[in-house]
Amino acid sequence: MKYFRLIFPFILVCLSAIVWSCSDDDSVIESTEIFDRQAMLANWSDNIIIPAYQAFSTEVDALKSAVEAFETQPNEANLNTVRQEWEAAYIAWQNIAMFNIGPAETTFMRSFINTYPANVSSINTNISTGDYALQAANANDEQGFPALDYLLFGLADSDAQILEFYTSNVNSSKYITYLTELVNRINVIANQVVASWEGDYRDTFVNNSGAASNSSTNKLLNDWMFYYEVVFRNGKIGFPAGVFSEGSTLPQNVEAFYKKDLSKTLCLEALNAFQDFFNGEAFEGTTRGESLASYLHFLNTMKNGEDLSRIINNQFDLSRTAMSNLDDNFFNQINTNNNVMLVAFEELQASVVLLKSDMFSALSVAVEFESGDGD
């Protein structure tokens, strides 16, 4: 019976061990035999995320100055410069759209910058009345690149007629104002996000290296997956190709609908950015750091399993091939032969299986945010 006296202190010690272990302790263990998630987070932020944001911000600055020049001298040459800068910035955007974490999440960056199709009737009303609040959550389809797409390419059939909206139209000053405000708004959001990453957020992100559901890895990966499935696969291909709309295609929902021949470029850029992130490849570079691929590789050598990262990369390559077969203009592609769009969709789909089912399981990252108890 004398043991009993020891039982309560023993339980107490054990219970305090629980409390201690469960209070998110992010101590990093230095060892070559374990995969360092923090190094992966550092590679992501320092070599991919921050440079990509900075590049985007630079492009948006260029777009801003182009619009300012156009504002002072609304002529064809200046309009074309605005268009070129818009295109460059839109392409740069594809490299950061997948990172909806931290400042991008709190500013609703993705929603405000690239919600399409643009709501043309709201935009027209906004311009004519001058009564709008771009910060409102439901104004997300009245701004960003899709709205600019409409203002720069969709106001009329010919370039000369489009230019007239900014020159001889009775509301020309209102058109210029709206154009300027849209660009400024992108600029403000971009600056905010870049400032935050260049400031404190980088360390917050890298130091939150645990494995809990709110750790950087889990949060970013869950959203990264959501981006791939919904924003990328469905948004760029699935929705316009009618995959979710009971057999009827919705070609007017392609990205960059008014520019017409940019949809494929944007789609390919997004795929490349996504794959580079998987491989931990530096932005605009070729060096690779710790990444999902190296993490999988690390885990695989331990279990002598299949080389999952190679299988995933192969599938990305197959998707790229399927996508290269498409017309530069997805709107045309859907109207002439939607089947190749569906083929591309299926290839993108196959990656979802590998990422969501195999990769998440192998990394032991829960495919969900806060969940309840388990068994």
Partner 1 sequence: MLEKYTTYLQHPEKAAPLAVFRILFGGLMIFSTLRFVSQGWVNKYYIEPSFHFKYYGFEFVTAFGQYTYILYAITLLSAIGIALGYKYKTATILFFLSFTYCELIDKTYYLNHYYFVSIIGFLLIFLPANCYFSIDAYRNSKIAFRKIPRYNIFVIQLMLCVVYFYAGLAKINTDWLFKAMPLQIWLPSRYYLPVLGDLFQKEWMHYAMSWFGMLYDLAIPFLLLFKRTRVFGFVMVVIFHVLTRVLFPIGIFPYVMICATLIFFDASFHEKIISFFRRLFKIKFVENNTALYLIPNVKKKLLATLFITFFTFQLVLPFRYMVYPDELFWTEEGYRYSWRVMLIEKGGYVQYKIVNPKTGNWFYVDHNKFLTEYQQKQLRTQADLILEFAHFLEKHYKEKGIINPEVYVESYIALNGRLSQQFVNPTVDLTKVNESFSHKDWLLPFNDTIYGF
Rounded CA-CA distance 350/357 in Å is: 11
Beta bridge partners of 281: 288
Residues from 31 through 50 that contact partner 1 (CB under 8 A):
31, 33-35, 37
State yes or no: residue 214 binds partner 1 (CB under 8 A): no
Give me the amino acid identity at 30: E
Element (H, E) at 291: none
Among 133, 137, 339, 372, indicate the residue that binds partner 1 (CB under 8 A).
Answer: 372
Residues of span 14-33 touching partner 1 by CB under 8 A: 14-15, 17-18, 21-22, 25-29, 31, 33
One-letter amino acid of 273: A
76 is a site residue for partner 1 (CB under 8 A): no
Q: Per-residue x/- mask for partner 1, residues 235 to 274, rule CB under 8 A?
A: ---x---xxxxxxx--------------------------
What one-letter code names the amino acid at 375?
A: D
The residue range among 5-13, 126-134, 159-167, 184-192 that interacts with partner 1, by the rule CB under 8 A, is 5-13
Q: CA-to-CA distance for 88 and 57, rounded, in angstroms?
A: 11
Least Cβ distance, residue 204 to partner 1 (angstroms):
17
- Of the candidates 267, 240, 248, the one whose C-alpha atom is nearest the C-alpha of residue 331 is 240
Q: How far is the CB of 110 from partner 1 (least distance, A)?
A: 16
If the CB atoms of residues 31 and 138 are measured against partner 1, the closer one turns out to be 31
Stretch that binds partner 1, among 11-19, 109-117, 258-266, 316-324 (CB under 8 A): 11-19
Task: Single out the segment in contact with partner 1 by CB under 8 A; choices: 96-104, 176-184, 321-329, 366-374.
Answer: 366-374
Strand partners, 288: 281
Count of CB atoms situated within 10 Å of the CB of 263 = 25
Q: Does 210 bind partner 1 (CB under 8 A)?
A: yes
Question: In the complex, what is the shortest distance from the CB of residue 111 to partner 1, in angstroms, rounded to a whole number?
Answer: 16
Please give the Cα distance from 119 to 142 (Å, whole number). Answer: 6
SS3 25: coil
Closest contact distance (angstroms) between CB of 283 and partner 1 is: 27
Asked if 12 touches partner 1 (CB under 8 A), the answer is no
**Residue 352 near partner 1 by CB under 8 A:** yes
286 vs 371 by CB, closer to partner 1: 371
Alpha-carbon distance 96 to 55, whole Å? 10
Which amino acid makes up residue 311?
Answer: I
Q: How far apart are CB 328 and partner 1 at their closest, in Å?
A: 26
Q: CA 232 to CA 228: how far, in whole Å?
A: 5
- Print burial letters for 77-89: b (CB count within 10 Å at least 16), e (below 16): ebbebbbebbbbb
Rounded CA separation 348/326 (Å): 14
Please, which contacts does 245-253 make with residues 24 or more away whose CB atoms are closer than 8 Å?
249/334, 249/335, 249/338, 251/330, 251/331, 251/334, 251/335, 252/117, 252/331, 253/116, 253/117
Residue 118 burial (CB count, 10 A): 23
349 binds partner 1 (CB under 8 A): yes
When the beta carbons of 63 and 225 are compared against partner 1, the nearer one is 225
Q: What kind and span of H or E run contains 156?
A: none
Let me know: does 92 contact 59? Beta carbons within 8 Å. Answer: yes
Among 250, 340, 343, 367, the residue binding partner 1 under the rule CB under 8 A is 367
Is there binding between residue 79 and partner 1 (CB under 8 A)? no
Residue from 195, 211, 318, 343 binding partner 1 (CB under 8 A): 211
CB of 74 to partner 1, least distance (A): 43
Query: Least Å distance between CB 48 and partner 1?
Result: 22
Question: Looking only at residues 291 through 330 of this chain, which bind partner 1 when binding is defined by CB under 8 A?
Answer: 299, 302-303, 305-306, 308, 311
What is the chain's Cα-based Rg? 24
Determine, following the binding rule CB under 8 A, whether residue 168 of this chain makes contact with partner 1.
no
Contact positions vs partner 1 (CB under 8 A):
1, 3-4, 7, 10-11, 14-15, 17-18, 21-22, 25-29, 31, 33-35, 37, 209-211, 230, 234, 238, 242-248, 299, 302-303, 305-306, 308, 311, 349, 352-354, 356-365, 367-369, 371-375
